[in-house]
Amino acid sequence: MARDLSRAGLERWFDELMSREGRSLERLAASYTRTAGDREDLCQEIATAIWGALPRFRGECSERTFVFRIAHNRALAHVTRRPVSAAPIEDVDLCDPGPNPEAALARGEESERLLDAIRELPLGYRQVMTLTLEGLGYSDIAEVIGISESNVGARLTRARQLLRRRFRDVPRRSAERGGGS
């Protein structure tokens, strides 16, 4: 399908992409940042990069893969030029509020714990885990990151092992801290 590359056509296309993928891109940005301000900065960088790249989209991959490739590249650039801060996680919003406030609060707390654990993963593992959680398949992740599909599988397996270990060890660490006082 030929795209309308006029200014108005690009604006419509950009709005469609951001409407469809915006929440996913926000979650991706949150996995690379620790503060709300950094997350907003990275989201803006991603949106600007997507806007600039739209006229060069050749349709060799899905629009979603194209958008995530751009987001991945911007996130890597963001991480490499900013020092990692030990700042606390601020108002991470990973789920839409549901009708049950208690269930929404519990989901939000679980999402924060998961996001915190994902942030602690080595970058290569964090990348595949974040993209997997956004619903990308191995071939799309391989294309976004620039690695083989088998490497995606290996990294994802290792990331899951590290996450399982972290969540299994959390109660033990809490008990160790409380028991020694």
Domain segments of the chain as ranges: 7-172
User: Can you give the pLDDT at residue 106?
Assistant: 61
- Summary mean pLDDT of the chain: 80
Q: Which two tokens stand for residue 148?
A: 């083989």
Q: Which two tokens stand for residue 23?
A: 């929440």
CA angle 109, 112, 116 (to 5 degrees): 145
Give the separation between CA 155 and CA 165, rounded to whole angstroms: 15
User: Can you give the pLDDT at residue 89?
Assistant: 40
Pair 157, 165: CB distance under 8 Å: no
Query: Among residues 25, 31, 33, 30, which one has the least CA distance to residue 83?
Result: 33
The yes-or-no verdict on residue 92 having pLDDT over 50 is no
Alpha helix stretches (DSSP H) within 54-100: 63-81
User: Can you give the pLDDT at residue 90?
Assistant: 44
Calculate mean pLDDT across residues 100-129. 77
User: Can you give the pLDDT at residue 60?
Assistant: 85
Calculate mean pLDDT across residues 158-166. 90
The yes-or-no verdict on residue 153 having pLDDT over 70 is yes
The yes-or-no verdict on residue 19 having pLDDT over 90 is yes
Residue 135's pLDDT band, with cuts at 50, 70 and 90, is: confident
